[in-house]
Structure 1
């Protein structure tokens, strides 16, 4: 029985890859095809971890329940305190003449 020529085996492999729509890789170079064919993990992770329920989300839900957001309340109190001490956000200029830039240029 005669041995089959390597060129014929390579041609057979090439035809098999065309028919079954697989990658022809005669030199066995790493292509990452295994990872590209794998199922995506993102949708499963999104389904596994529930949505984070915050006070703002809870207050927007139907049903009329309202919870005091203490962090927001504290933030607003801190802003008011800074305003009273003069450390708040500077006022916006209503016109070009009121802006600090225009008053600096002489």
Structure 2
């Protein structure tokens, strides 16, 4: 039924894995909704995920789900509305050995 109503939503998993091999993907708003779904979709053995959100407990849950699927994820609890937290987060990012290849800026406050 999904393919009938949403034919463009089908993802070629092999192509996705090939395109993201060796990449580091930072996802903001990764603890709920679109960010969480994206993290789970990108839970690939050769892709490193950096998951950012305010809720550390939920981030750890998403991290465990990513790792259960064979992916690798690091979590960074951060309220991106707070300049001091953003500054501390950026300092941590600068310590990453290979930097960030892809940024998905999904953080936002739900209605």
Report the TM-score when normalising by structure 2. 0.20
More helix by share: 1
More strand by share: 2
Q: Which has the higher contact order (CA 8 A, sep 6+)?
A: 2
Report the TM-score when normalising by structure 1. 0.20
Q: Rg bigger for which structure? A: 1
